[in-house]
Amino acid sequence: MQIDQNSRNNLLQLSLRKVQFQILKYTVLGSLPNHFKNLLEQAIVYSSKTKELNFLHSRVNGLVLPSYVTEEQVRICSTFKTRPGDVFLITYPKAGTLWLSEIVYRITKPKKPSVNLLGGAVPYFETASHEELEALPSPRYIFTHLPLSLILRSNEHDLKYIYLARNPRDVAVSFFHFMSSVRVCDFEGTWDEFLDYFMNGEVPYGSYFDHVLEWWEHKDDENVLFLKYEVLKKELKGQVKIIAEFLGIQLSDEEANTIAEQCTFQAMKANPGIRADALSKMYKKGSHLRKGMVGDWQNYFSDEQLAEFQKLYQYRMQQSGLEFEFH
């Protein structure tokens, strides 16, 4: 049977991606958890872009997800067995996930996990296996980007949820840089192209507005703490104490001040032991900690883009009562 030229080219490209990944696997990605390396192989070698979306991705029940979050991984998350005291740290992508994880890590000083997980003592839910999560000591602190509909809301156990929200303009800019830099997205498009995807909710983890507003509706629930990135920037010490109190931990002013100093963007970026190192290995360029500022959107949005974005923002946020600072 003869193979046409397109098929021959596809096979050649597949072989090339396999070789490239094997080099990555045993060099740059060497220290990452094996389970995650297997997911990355699936994402980088076997995923493909589409005519509609010019980046590597998966889709589960219509929701766009990162290429390494497969249907099987979503099933693992949906059948996860909770324990009393489990705490989920939840953000939309690029809304301060690592920052929140580091603050909670410093407050709680959890035991070192017995397994090698992406994220360390505060592992990344979507990339873990049942066995890895089960091996974690209680209380477990787990971060995730999954929307509310895919996160366990068990009445059986006393679970807690901390949600960190960031203004959507800065999220869009940070997300653009992330997708342009990481191998698992391989996005080579322009800012204009990405902003269209973002405004249409056709980016990994879906619509920003759906994600944030679903959790905002639960802001008054006893077991939910809803935080804002911009407030965290301005009032870090006070916010550290609020997070600790929510977790049932009393901190002195001195302890809260020490944690706040350890968790400034500058301190985290200067700390070689920070868990961003593992995440940065997924990057073709740059690192996981980029700027961490409020107002960077002003360097990217044109006047026309800002006007269109503001229309969408007002339409989605009207009557919600949720407001953000943009600079």
Q: Domain residues for 54?
A: 31-317
- The answer to whether residue 40 is domain-embedded is yes
Q: Out of 13-27, 166-180, 212-226, 294-308, which region has the weakest mean confidence (pLDDT)?
A: 13-27
3-state secondary structure (DSSP) of residue 40: helix
Determine, yes or no, domain membership for 22.
Answer: no
Q: Tell me the whole-structure pTM to 2 decimals.
A: 0.86
The yes-or-no verdict on residue 309 having pLDDT over 70 is yes
Question: Is 1 within the bounds of a domain?
Answer: no
Residue 210 belongs to some domain of the structure: yes
CA dihedral 224, 230, 234, 237 (to 10 degrees): 30
Active site residue 327: no
Instruction: Report residue 18 CA to chain centroid gap.
Output: 26
Q: E strands within 152-287?
A: 160-165, 224-228
As a whole-number percent, the residues of the chain with pLDDT over 70 amount to 76
Q: Given a cut of 60, is residue 297 above it in pLDDT?
A: yes
Question: Residue 285's pLDDT is what?
Answer: 59
Domain tally, the chain:
1
Decide which of 156 and 322 is more confident.
322
Angle (CA) 212 214 216, round 5°: 65
226: its two tokens: 């809803």
Q: What is the mean pLDDT of the chain?
A: 84
Residue 3 falls inside a structural domain:
no
Q: What pLDDT score does 1 carry?
A: 47
List the catalytic residue out of 35, 57, 130, 145. Answer: 145
Q: How confident is the model at residue 225 (pLDDT cuts 50, 70, 90)?
A: very high
CB-hemisphere CA count at 13 Å for 317?
15
Specify the CATH number for the domain of residue 95. Answer: 3.40.50.300
pLDDT score recorded for residue 42: 73
Most confident of the following: 41-50, 190-199, 279-288: 190-199
Spatial contact of 224 and 151, defined as CB atoms under 8 Å apart: no
Q: How many angstroms separate the CA atoms of 276 and 269, rounded?
A: 8
Q: Is 92 inside any structural domain?
A: yes
